[in-house]
Amino acid sequence: MCGDFNAHHTNWNCRRKNFTGNALVHYAQCNNLEILAPPTPTRYGPSSATTIDLILIKNFSYNYEIDSLAELSSDHNPVILKFDFNIVPLLKNRRKVSTIWDNFKTRLNSNVKLLTPSISNNDDLDNEISKLTENITNAYNSSFRPLKEHEELYLPPHIRKLKTERNRAKRVWQRDRDPTSKNQYNRAQTRFRTATDEFNQSTYAAQTSQLNVYD
């Protein structure tokens, strides 16, 4: 879904939040959606610029590029979104949650009995494995919460540093609005995106290397 949501929020580089922006963020978090926005504003007024033209996606893990193009006379820029379908999609969990490990441990300990089961054949073994798997899954499903608005999924330190540099360059560009600061912001954005893509790809490779073709 894409369009002009008239929703302002700092998550997509607006300087302020409004009711619609907060509602959209809450709706996306509750429904496992991702909100995509270009790195530069999509609407330019007489004395301000903001990003209100957005794209909502769900369970869509391909790499993408999104840009706001200054190509029309309208106060709204056209937004172009390109997906790369030539690679295997990343195994990314789009649902942003945090696990409460103390609850997980308590629920698991209450459901799993540390007794040697009576196993005499393959069916007995399969049943015990299924029960253990179900207990672990149930304990996890009862022990996580959605991330709060100010919380993020894990990023390694070097990517967090690049993100900080990107955000600093963005603030300078929003303040000065000159070609030099815009170029610096674009380069910082590219470095951050490249590092994030490499991290996601390495995570994907690590996950696939652990898969068993006989599972």
Look at residues 206, 188, 187, 209 and name the one whose alpha carbon lies nearest to residue 198: 206
In a domain, 17, yes or no: yes
Of 83, 111, 127, the last residue of a domain is: 83
What is the residue range of 123's domain? 97-146
Angle at the Cα of 162 (from 160 to 168), degrees rounded to 5? 105
Query: How much is the mean pLDDT over the chain?
Result: 82
Question: Among all chains, which residue has been given the structure tokens 């997906």?
Answer: 83
In a domain, 91, yes or no: no
Q: Are residues 25 and 70 in the same domain?
A: yes
Q: How do residues 15-28 score in pLDDT, each as one tens digit?
A: 899 999 999 998 88
Residue 144 token pair: 């996580």
Q: Are residues 28 and 58 in the same domain?
A: yes
In a domain, 212, yes or no: no
Q: Are residues 107 and 70 in the same domain?
A: no
pLDDT at position 162: 92
Measured distance between the N- and C-terminal CA atoms of the chain, rounded to whole angstroms = 36
Q: Are residues 9 and 79 in the same domain?
A: yes
- How far apart are alpha carbons 126 and 46 in whole angstroms? 68
Does 131 have pLDDT greater than 60? Answer: yes
Total tally of structural domains belonging to the chain = 3
How far lies 103's CA from each of 106, 109, 153, 191, in Å?
5, 10, 20, 38
Q: Is the pTM of this model over 0.75?
A: no
In a domain, 89, yes or no: no
